[in-house]
Structure 1
Amino acid sequence: MYHTNGVNPYKWYPAAVGRDYVMPENLAILKELRGDFTVFSGLAHFRSPQSAGHWGLSNLLTGCGNGGGVKFHTSVSLDQYLAPHLSGETRIQSLNLSCKSGVGALNERIVTMSYGQRGNPIPTESSPRKIFEQLFVEPTPEAKARFRHLQSRNQSILDNLRDEASQVGRKLGKRDRQKLDDYLTNVRSVEQQMQRDDQWLDAPRWQVDPATGKKMLATDRYDFDLMLELVFLALVSDTTRVITFVPMEEGGCTTELRIGIGILRRAYQRWIHGTANGLVAYQNSRES
């Protein structure tokens, strides 16, 4: 889970090391659980430009150092490097969640922190309903038959694409071959996911209590609390072991906080950076 827009480090990190540290202000709510987690510090990416305050999503799990005038570039992210090794017995190899579905812009407003083997950004999902259906809703017999029919057709399409790409590749220069390799990597990823879906199609899904299911299926719009609940359900059911979650855009706000005028966004950003005037302005804008 990535906390956008930064935190006030003096309220986040303990001043001392060891088990007996004084709980900092921003972690005080977790004091009853302090024996169950460890706080790490000193993990900043020093390659990231000092002026790149809102480029963390493309840097956190890749260490690529985007921002500050650097041409946007990525490599495989840590979660995607680990996913194939951790997901052998899970339905979903990795789950990528965000406040907005898709990828976003390839700059500081990107909404994914997951990148494939060749640095291709992996789209996220923001709808609790769609995520819940993917993880826990049993498909009907008709849906299974339709899936297998489409899978057979899609496999033929992928086979044709691979054959054509192989023929075209012999005529390309080095740079264009690299682009073609990136394309074929994405094709292979689609193929692997299709095979995984087929292997798990008839396996029973973890049962979620009806009240929770009803709540999830009734919510299409991004909801922070429901997303956290889905993260918990996905892990406790061992449906996946690798999850990334971007709860808010860089330099922006959640859908709830976007209601209103621009001053709300600016005040909110100053507030989370620990500016007293920002907190007052944010509270006033919320009240109005």
Structure 2
Amino acid sequence: MTFPNGSLSRRHVLRGLGAALTLPLLDAMGPKLAFGAPSKFTPRAASLAVQPRMICCYVPNGVNILAWMPTGSGADYTLSPTLEMLKDHRDDFTVVTGCGHPASEGGHSGADTWLTAADLKAVPGSDYSNRISVDQLVAGVHGKQTRFPSLQLADGSGTGSAGHSHTLSFDAGGTPLPAENSPKRLFERLFVPETAADREATLRRYAERKSILDSVLGEAQALDRRLGRDDRQKLDEYLSSVRQTEDRVERLVDWVDVPKPAVDPKDLQLASQPGNKHDRPMWLDVMLELSYLAFQTDATRVVTFEWSREAGGFGGGGENHHELSHHGGDAGMLKQLAAIDRFHLSRLARFMDFLKATQEGDGTMLDGTAILFGSGMNSGEGGEHSPKNLPTLVAGGRRLGLKHGQHLAHDVDAHPPMANLLLSVAQAMGVETDRFADATGTLTGLT
């Protein structure tokens, strides 16, 4: 028999030649797995403070570059079939093509270098060494004014492994900053008030960590006098990381008595699971909704969000994103890959809708929010996972000086480094520097 929802009964039998055979357990016998109902979350009318913000959204495995690349350049370019998903925001974003990270090896280490532009094998004798990511430069400027200097979000918690990172953020010593993947835990961290017991536990942890850090620093200072120049440099890098840890611990105390913003979890699908392909649209939406709320309440001004780790991820219908990225030029796989790209841009468009619908000063939140969207690899015409011509969009941030409604096209073999773009965004966010990684200057036309 067939159930009303279209699934088959296990008791369904095949009859032929006088035999009755019970079917084995098939996928069709289970209930139809409908994707979660669309989110009912709606944007707030206004933002609490006029502040510059930045969010970096990363998609793994590259894109179907054939369907991604627009035609023409400058303001008169034509949106590609994939970029048509953002047509309602045409004046709110810039397409950047042709650029890449010259020091990157491409492949599935793209997330590790997307915001750092590092050569991961630059240190002799080391299999992996990274450098500070551009978001942490920005957090160094704005983080002192917010409860959280920055937020790291991803579909995998923690830091992942070298070359297959679960985070886009790296501190001054190149150490990865762990990411959060649970909407529920993220909401609690941002908006659930601390109890008296929580406060005492925070102060107790602070005292314990402060004691440990003081001991480490004291021993390091004694050791420093007996080391050679190279070892002293390594020790300085280590101590810099220790001091950053000390700063983070002290911040817990500074904010322990400051009430968190009041946010109603109603309409937030906090139970969505990042590793469940059927939850994929819901999980992306709720993590972006929480990013929006974190910005709107000024809980943080810097967010990095790795939508999926490299060599992983699902499309909006549960498709295996990584498998499709190794398309080998197959037309059918490229078609499915383009569908995943459009799904991703539909979620970005929704997030931009929220920001644009929220008034802030004499403009909107989108005007004050710089958005970097893209991938640290290009699956190319044959699925080769190249570090060249990285698919990149810069959106929002008009009040910060970012210019949009254009296609900044560059020669794939003779282009400015992607670090120029990162430097431009950092300067727009108020970082006073003219250097970042291998940047040769800012990206012409973006600011």
- Gaps in structure 2 of 5+ consecutive residues: 1-56, 276-282, 338-447
Q: After the TM superposition, which residues 127-166 of structure 1 pair with which residues of structure 2 at under 5 Å, given as runs?
A: 127-166=182-221
Q: What TM-score comes out, normalization by structure 1 length?
A: 0.82
Q: What's the Cα RMSD here?
A: 2.9
Q: Once the two structures are superposed, what CA deviation does each residue of 1:153-197 show, in whole Å capped at 9, x if it has no partner?
A: 321221112111211222234444344333322221111112222
Partner of 1:249: 309
The reply on whether 1:112 has 2:172 as its aligned counterpart is no
Q: Do the aligned residues in 2 keep the contact of 1:267 with 1:279 (CA within 8 Å)? A: no
Q: Which residue of 2 aligns with 1:25?
A: 81
Given the alignment of the two structures, is residue 53 of structure 1 paired with residue 74 of structure 2, yes or no?
Answer: no
Residue aligned with 1:245, SS: strand
Instruction: List gaps (5 residues or longer) in structure 1.
Output: 283-288
Give the C-alpha shift of residue 279 in structure 1: 5.5
1:99 Cα offset (Å) = 1.1
TM-score with structure 2 setting the length:
0.55
Find the aligned partners of 1:154 and 1:10 in 2 and give their Cα distance: 52
The answer to whether structure 1 residue 196 and structure 2 residue 196 are counterparts is no
Is the Cα–Cα contact under 8 Å of residues 158 and 187 in structure 1 kept in the other structure?
A: yes
Cα separation, 1, equivalents of 2:129 and 2:274: 31
- 1:39 — aligned with what? 95
Q: CA deviation at 1:4?
A: 0.9
Alignment: residue pair count: 270
SS in structure 1 opposite 2:62?
coil
Q: Which residue of 222, 229, 241 corresponds with 2:289? A: 229
More helix by share: 1
Q: Partners in 1 of 2:208 and 2:60 — Cα distance?
A: 41
Q: Rg: which structure is higher? A: 2
Would you say the 8 A contact 2:190–2:294 is kept in 1? yes
8 Å contact from structure 1 (residues 99, 254) kept in 2? no
Flag the 1:173–1:255 CA change in 2: closer, same or farther, 3 A: farther
| More strand, by proportion | 2
Aligned partners of 2:77 and 2:317: how far apart in 1?
34
Aligned mates of 1:256, 1:33 — CA distance in 2:
21
Answer whether contact 1:130 1:220 (CA < 8 A) is retained: no
Aligned to 1:286: none
Q: Is residue 136 of structure 2 the alignment partner of residue 80 of structure 1? A: yes
**2:324 maps to 1:268:** yes
Q: Which moved more, 1:15-24 or 1:163-172?
A: 15-24
- Aligned CA distance change for structure 1 residues 241 and 46 (closer, same or farther; 3 Å): same
Aligned residue in 1 for 2:158: 102
CA distance in 1, matches of 2:301, 2:220: 34
Contact 2:142 2:301 in 1 (8 A): yes
**Deviation of residue 139 (structure 1)?**
0.4
Q: Tell me, what secondary structure is at the counterpart of 1:40?
A: strand
* Percent of matched pairs sharing the same residue: 36
In 1, Cα distance between equivalents of 2:69 and 2:336: 26
**How far is the alpha carbon of 1:17 from its aligned partner?**
2.7
Give the letter for the 2:85 counterpart. I
Moved more, 17-26 or 98-107: 17-26
Note if contact 2:171-2:177 (Cα within 8 Å) is conserved in structure 1: yes
Which amino acid is the alignment partner of residue 111 of structure 2? L
Contact 2:103 2:118 in 1 (8 A): yes
Indicate yes or no: 2:90 matched with 1:9: no
Q: Secondary structure at the match of 1:248?
A: coil
